[in-house]
Every structure is written in structure tokens, then in C-alpha cells.
Amino acid sequence: MLGFIGFGFKLLLAAIIGGALSYVPGKSENEQKIVESSLICIFAASILGLTSQLYVYETNMGMGLGIVAVFLVITSLSKQSDFAHRMLWYFSAAVGMVLGAGLFLQAVIFAGLIYLILQNSDKVFNYLEQEKSEDIDNPIDKISN
């Protein structure tokens, strides 16, 4: 019974974290992406949560097969998607697999890092482009300073 409660907690946390990965405050047009990433995270957590309970001769062959299965399913489902959407699905699956393995703190830190990168990617690219254009505009001024 305790294993069932733990499995339910993994799935609940996977749903919350998976939906939070694609949540953008102030935009309501991405509701479909929230549901998709949440379902992918739940799928990955459930597959790895179930295969982590299968021990074959003291090896984790079941977990390895579960990881391969999750990545094969994500690859086949996201063939027609753009790069950003595919990466969101892969990272949702990775967070789900970490949760399914029972590493809650690591999954939260990993998801937080992914969320920060996704939400601030435009700012980073703008900063890099601004820095690059300043270098090209005044190369002599940079040498004399």
C-alpha cells in the first residue's frame, strides 16, 4: 500500500512539474502545450516508476528498457514538431524519468533550471546579439581602450 501511495505522489508531482515547464505567465494560447508536456512527464514517470520495481538478477535492465522506450515514443510523436517543441517534450520526459526513479529534489532542480532557460532565452540571445554588434561597430575603439 505504501508503494502505491509513493507511485501516486510521483505521478502527481510529474503532472505539476510537467505542466509548469511550458507555462508562460500572461499567455493563454499555450494551454495545449501545458497539457502535452504534463502528459509526457506523467508518461515518463509512470514508465520508469514501474520499471524501477522490476529487478532481473540484481540489474536494472528494466529501467534501461524503460528509458529507451520513453525516448522512442517521444521521438516518434514529435517528428513533425519544430525544434523548440521537441526539446520541451524531451526535457519533460527527462524530468518525468528522474521523478519516476524517485529523485524528487534532483527533478525539481532540473525542472527549475530548464524553466529558467526557456523563459529567459530571448533575453540571453538579445544580450549576445547586442554585444556582438558593438564589437563589430567600433573595433578601433576597443583596441585603444
Q: Is residue 112 in some structural domain?
A: yes
pTM > 0.85 = no
Q: Is residue 144 in some structural domain?
A: no
In angstroms, the CA 124 to CA 117 distance is: 9
pLDDT digits 0-9 by tens, 38-59: 899 999 999 988 887 776 666 6
In angstroms, the CA 95 to CA 45 distance is: 8
The tally of domains found in the chain comes to 1
Residues of the chain above pLDDT 90, percent = 12
Residues of the chain above pLDDT 70, percent = 82
Amino acid in position 127: Y
Tell me the CB-side half-sphere exposure of residue 118, using CA atoms within 13 A.
21
Q: Is residue 127 in some structural domain?
A: yes
Long-range interactions of 131-135: CB distance < 8 A, separation 24+: none
Q: Is residue 85 in some structural domain?
A: yes
Q: Is residue 23 in some structural domain?
A: yes
Q: Is residue 142 in some structural domain?
A: no
Domain that holds residue 44: 2-137
Q: Is residue 60 in some structural domain?
A: yes
Q: Is residue 100 in some structural domain?
A: yes
pLDDT digits 0-9 by tens, 69-86: 899 999 898 888 888 788
pLDDT digits 0-9 by tens, 84-127: 788 888 999 999 999 988 888 998 999 888 888 888 777 777 77
Tell me the backbone φ, ψ of residue 87, rounded to 5 degrees: -65, -35
Q: What's residue 114's pLDDT?
A: 87
